[in-house]
Amino acid sequence: MQSRHSAAGKPGVRPIEKSLSAAGLRPALRHHRALLAIMLVLAISLAGATGYLIGNINTAQAAAVVNDTECVAAFSNKIATDNDLCSLVEQVNLQDQLNAEIQKNASLEDSLDAQQQEMDSLEVTILGALMANLDSKLVSRSGPTANAYRDEAKNLVELKYKLNKFKKTDKASEIDLTTYEAAIKKRLDYLPTIKPIPGYYDGYGNRRHPIYGYYHFHPGADVGAARGTQIKAAASGTVIASTYGGGSGYYVTIDHRNGFTTTYMHCSKLLVSAGEKVTKGEVIALVGNTGSSTTPHLHYEIRFYGEPLNPTRMIME
């Protein structure tokens, strides 16, 4: 290569364009610029496509979020609706159960009413039968005898015992036997069936007089007791005598309004007066040793229309 020298005599530099033209680089530069332009267009296009895709994705996501929110709201509404339906069903079921219980209670009340009516009817029947049985065991007032009254007293005491035993059972509360019990008591109250004082009664009939020594008929029974022991009326009635009577000492006689009279002798003190009404078991006097008596005791007599009876035949309680 030859060097060109300037006027100063120095070597000269060849112009670049001329060199490039000479080397054939100008067309390549133009191609390079075109390629850059194409790449720039592609980059812009790619960026736009990417933005578009991202925009679509965000839109889809936003739509999905909206759709999810709507689904949640719809599901919540569905749950609320189902809960309302369940509550309604429960209310209906509870109402049905309540109605069933009401009907059951009504049926039970009807059944109880029917049972009560049946019990009332049964009570009337039982009471009627008992009263009829009681009437059959009573003595006719038109022609009474001492033995008949004794049998009546025995029957009444037995009925009273059975009634008291029945009253201790669980069944007693189901039947009202007040009327029956009162009828037994009313009849038995005027029959001398209890002991005036505790002890052993004997001496009724023919015997030797304990003081005078002669044989005679002793119309009562004697029972020893301590002085001052309470003497009770053997039956209800009216006091017809309360006084002192020689060998009888202080004594009380009671009329029982059915032919029976009872007398209580040798008392130390009298607690009732003539004309006074007394009840069975009431204290009327105290044991003593007055009159023809060797020791404190009670002389007890029972008479039926004036005729003496052995007291031990009537004592049953």
In tens, the pLDDT along 89-113 reads: 777 777 777 778 787 777 777 666 6
> Do 267 and 220 share a structural domain?
yes
> Do 214 and 170 share a structural domain?
no
- Looking up residue 245, the CATH number of its domain turns out to be 2.70.70.10
> Do 233 and 173 share a structural domain?
no
pLDDT given for residue 234 in this prediction: 98
Q: What are phi and psi of 303, to 5 degrees?
A: -125, 145
- Is residue 28 in some structural domain? no
Which residues span the domain enclosing 83?
Answer: 73-189
Query: Residue 90 corresponds to which tokens in the numbers above?
Result: 């429960």
- Is residue 194 in some structural domain? no
Q: Which of residues 189, 217, 237 is at a domain's end?
A: 189
197, 266 contact by CB (below 8 A): no
pLDDT given for residue 94 in this prediction: 78
> Do 287 and 232 share a structural domain?
yes
Banded model confidence at residue 10, pLDDT cuts 50, 70, 90: very low
Q: Mean pLDDT over all residues of the chain?
A: 78
pLDDT given for residue 194 in this prediction: 97
Question: Of residues 288 and 205, which shows the higher confidence score?
Answer: 288
236, 190 contact by CB (below 8 A): yes
> Do 148 and 220 share a structural domain?
no
Query: Residue 45 corresponds to which tokens in the numbers above?
Result: 């296009």
- Is residue 142 in some structural domain? yes
- Is residue 59 in some structural domain? no
* pLDDT at 206 > cutoff 60: yes
* pLDDT at 83 > cutoff 90: no
- Is residue 103 in some structural domain? yes
* pLDDT at 141 > cutoff 70: no
257, 263 contact by CB (below 8 A): no
pLDDT (mean) for 253-262: 96
> Do 265 and 181 share a structural domain?
no
238, 257 contact by CB (below 8 A): yes
* pLDDT at 249 > cutoff 90: yes
> Do 154 and 216 share a structural domain?
no
* pLDDT at 295 > cutoff 80: yes
The CB-based long-range contact list for 14-20 (8 Å cut-off, 24+ gap) reads: none
Lowest mean pLDDT among 73-77, 130-134, 174-178, 256-260: 130-134
- Is residue 250 in some structural domain? yes
> Do 278 and 172 share a structural domain?
no
- On the 0-12 / 13-18 / 19+ scale of CB atoms within 10 A, 312 is middle
pLDDT tens-digit readout, 219-239:
999 999 999 999 999 999 999
pLDDT given for residue 274 in this prediction: 98
> Do 176 and 89 share a structural domain?
yes
* pLDDT at 33 > cutoff 80: no
Q: Which of residues 189, 214, 233 is at a domain's end?
A: 189
> Do 262 and 306 share a structural domain?
yes
284, 211 contact by CB (below 8 A): no
- Is residue 60 in some structural domain? no
258, 202 contact by CB (below 8 A): no
> Do 87 and 178 share a structural domain?
yes
- Is residue 169 in some structural domain? yes
What is the three-class DSSP state of 202?
strand
pLDDT given for residue 17 in this prediction: 45
| Cβ neighbour number for residue 239 with a 10 Å cutoff | 19
Banded model confidence at residue 173, pLDDT cuts 50, 70, 90: confident
Counting the structural domains of the chain, the total is 2
> Do 183 and 267 share a structural domain?
no
Q: Sign of dihedral through CA atoms 82, 87, 90, 92?
A: negative
Query: Residue 192 corresponds to which tokens in the numbers above?
Result: 């001398």
Banded model confidence at residue 211, pLDDT cuts 50, 70, 90: confident
288, 250 contact by CB (below 8 A): yes
156, 188 contact by CB (below 8 A): yes
pLDDT given for residue 150 in this prediction: 93
Lowest mean pLDDT among 16-25, 63-72, 221-230, 284-293: 16-25
What is the three-class DSSP state of 310?
coil
Task: Please name which of 237, 129, 127 lies closest in space to residue 181, comparing C-alpha atoms.
Answer: 127
